[in-house]
A and B are shown apart, each in its own frame.
Chain A
Amino acid sequence: MDSAKKTNLRLDTVSAAFWFALAGAVCYGASLLGLGSAGEPGSGFILFWSGLILAVLSLVVLAESIRAAGETRHESGSISWPKVFLVLAALVLYGLLLERLGFILTSFLLLSFLLGISDEAKWPTVLTVATGAALGSFVLFDLWLQIRLPKGILEF
């Protein structure tokens, strides 16, 4: 078995284990909600059965993966995980600061960061585009489309 096929099998094993564990948690949570009876299903009825089906399906995914270990399949492109986590952290920060700093300032910071880490534009361009886009989207969404965006410290 070559390394790509080994990776596929490893990924499927990890995902099957995840879905199986999740299925167990769903079944447990559903049983706490009350399953009721077939004639009078309770709040946990469909969740319990969905959990059970999910558990079976996770085993099918694993079995399928073992059976197909010799076959090639679609490969997703490589994901740049450090950049992904950097961007996700920036997005979380955006969510935390949006109402405090206001839309324009937070969006400017976010766009500067997103455009800056790409290394494709020079900083003066990055800052100009980020300023224009933050102001432009405020005008478009808040002033024109009447979506109330937080003004934060720029409120006056």
Chain B
Amino acid sequence: MLDSLASLAFGFTVALQPQNLFYCFLGVTMGTLVGILPGLGPTVTIALLLPVTFQLNPVAAIIMLSGICYGAMYGGSTTSILLNIPGEAASVVTCLDGYQMARQGRGGPALGISAFGSFIAGTISLFGLVFLAPTLAEFGLRFGPPEYFALMVMGLTVVAYLARRSMAKALVMTVFGIILGCIGLDPMTATPRFTFGSLELADGISLPAMVMGLFGIAEVLENLGVRTKVQVFSGKIKELLPNREDWRRSAGPIGRGSLLGFFLGIVPGVGAIVPQFVSYALEKKLSAYPERFGTGEIEGVAGPEACNNAAMGGTFIPLLSLGIPSSATTAVLLGALMIYGLTPGPLLIKNSPDLFWGVIASMYIGNVLLLILNLPLIPLWISFLKIPYTYLASFIILFCLIGAYSLNNNTVDIFVAILFSLFGLLLKRFDFEPAPLVLAFVLGPMLETNLRRSLILSDGGFRIFLERPISAAFILLALAALAAPLLSKVRPGYGLSEED
């Protein structure tokens, strides 16, 4: 424990270096902005900014990109409360009571409790991260190829289980993601696979170009011809600080939301979206007046807002300690780590302590910055929503094209982004979710390598996955996730709207 605190202190010396502090500030500010703006989520923003970070030191780059992840959580809640529009999928639930509070003239306390709750949750999840990530990484050192393979299978099946639409369709996306991830040179024999003689495809499909097409341009294409006029909140926001009664009612939900979000976020595949719904349901169940939920109850804002922030912190644990992403956003972050030449996994703490502890400490600093900057700047953030969507959409397309081109200074990546934008649009039309595809695309090559190594180790016996207790546990969990829909029709994420 003392070791972890000493390492955290070292992390603060890294995060407080002027350059890192600047990039942390930049990251959380951009995160807040993309959390507010429609059509541009943290996943696309990270993919878009990736080429810009090539010249940076990887620590500064990851600090900035992580800031975008959790900054977006703050930004998303602002539009949920004031406009009834979730800027981020992880803030959908906040609309229910947050917007009602704003309509009753209590938008200030709703924003305040959301910011303070997020800050408290961020702090709790930081401490969880500090103590759990090194332990998990140490545990991860015991993992061999079968355990890694089983863990990835579990993560991918959990993602499919938590899908907002049909689980079978989410599994189709997962398998297709694995297939796309195999395009390029075979990692073990260097045989070209499905490259059709193209040199560009030998390196595989570019993840950032794919993400910009699937999430960025496709979203714009979907909204072409739709005239969206945002009703910008014109009322004055008074009394941002919650009163004593607000605090009394919110303390429990914030504490429960923080713990719930953090522990759910750790589970590979869960991400930050589903935990907020669990938190809302829990608060409603525990409330003495559940019928009032949805009419402007502060517990309905405090719990889920704390929960989504804590969950975002939690998702960094499998990412940093095992190299396993939990969502499309952390999958792109994992891609970024690999592009910087770092090997995410249990050895990251040992080999790159400045990155590991620097990023963790920067998350705390980022949370403080968000708390200080966000509340006074709310009118400024809201004014960005006055930009007509047509202009915003055109700029999103242009930035995605610049981002794709600058990956390799090559127009091929532009065509990859265009192709995936059409594909992303068709996925929406045919009711498929793209997030499992991205996650499987990133995990695919690792999954394959670990499967093949496991089979070579066991001389072709698939029992190796069941003979080793850790991998057997993961496989059983994966099977449970696959079998669960047969036993119950209700899945946690089923029916949620697609805002990601």
Contacts and interface: CB of A to CB of B under 8 A. Distances in A.
A80 B168 contact: no
A70 interface: no
A11 to B, nearest CB: 5
A46 B327 CA distance: 23
Interface string B4-21: 000000000000000000
Contact of B169 (A47, A61, A96, A99): A61
B406 A149 contact: yes
Contacts of A14: 430
Contacts of B414: 91, 94-95, 98
A6 interface: no
A3 interface: no
Interface centre among A34, A42, A54, A147 (most CB of B within 10 A): A147
A115 B391 contact: yes
A114 B429 CA distance: 22
A15 B221 CA distance: 20
A80 B222 CA distance: 8
Contact of A46 (B168, B182, B227, B418): B182
B191 interface: yes
B139 interface: no
B425 A84 contact: yes
B460 A110 contact: no
B422 interface: yes
Interface string B365-407: 0000000000000000000000010110111011101100110
Contact of A92 (B193, B415, B455, B498): B415
A129 interface: yes
A79 B425 contact: yes
B392 to A, nearest CB: 11
A53 B175 contact: yes
Nearest to B178: A50
A156 to B, nearest CB: 20
A94 B401 contact: yes
Interface in B419-452: 421-422, 425, 428-432, 447-448, 451-452
A129 B391 CA distance: 9
Interface in B159-189: 165-166, 168-169, 171-172, 175-176, 178-179, 182, 186, 188-189
B402 A137 contact: yes
Contact of B222 (A11, A43, A47, A79): A79
Contacts of B186: 43
B51 interface: yes
Nearest to B179: A50
Given A43-B191, A80-B225, A120 B455 contact: no
A60 B460 contact: no
B286 interface: no
A73 B498 CA distance: 13
A95 B188 CA distance: 34
Contact of B172 (A44, A46, A57, A88): A57
B290 interface: no
B411 A73 contact: no
A114 B394 contact: yes
Interface string A45-66: 1110011011001101100100
B430 A64 contact: no
Nearest to B402: A141
A23 to B, nearest CB: 9
A2 interface: no
Contact of A107 (B182, B398, B460): B398
A39 interface: yes
B292 to A, nearest CB: 28
A33 B193 contact: yes
A105 interface: no
B376 to A, nearest CB: 26
A60 B168 contact: yes
A91 B394 CA distance: 11
A120 B430 contact: no
Contact of A147 (B165, B391, B398, B402): B402
Contacts of A38: 455, 460-462
Given A26-B179, A53-B175, A88-B418, A47 B391 contact: no
B182 A47 contact: yes
A43 B300 CA distance: 51
Contacts of A76: 222, 428-429, 431
- For the complex of A and B, list the 9 residue pairs with the smallest distance between their C-beta atoms, beginning with the closest: A39-B460, A38-B460, A80-B225, A114-B394, A118-B390, A95-B414, A43-B186, A43-B191, A60-B168
Given A46-B452, A95-B411, A95-B414, 15 more contacts: A19-B172, A26-B179, A41-B455, A43-B193, A51-B179, A57-B171, A58-B172, A61-B168, A84-B221, A94-B401, A111-B394, A114-B393, A114-B397, A133-B398, A145-B52
Interface of A: 8, 11-12, 14-15, 19, 22, 26, 29, 33-34, 37-47, 50-51, 53-54, 57-58, 60-61, 64, 73-74, 76-77, 79-80, 83-84, 87-88, 91-92, 94-96, 98-99, 103, 107, 110-111, 114-115, 118, 120-121, 129, 133, 137, 141, 145-149
23 contacts: A11-B431, A40-B460, A46-B178, A47-B182, A50-B178, A54-B176, A73-B165, A74-B497, A76-B222, A76-B428, A79-B221, A79-B224, A84-B422, A87-B397, A88-B422, A91-B397, A95-B418, A98-B414, A118-B390, A120-B227, A147-B402, A148-B409, A149-B406
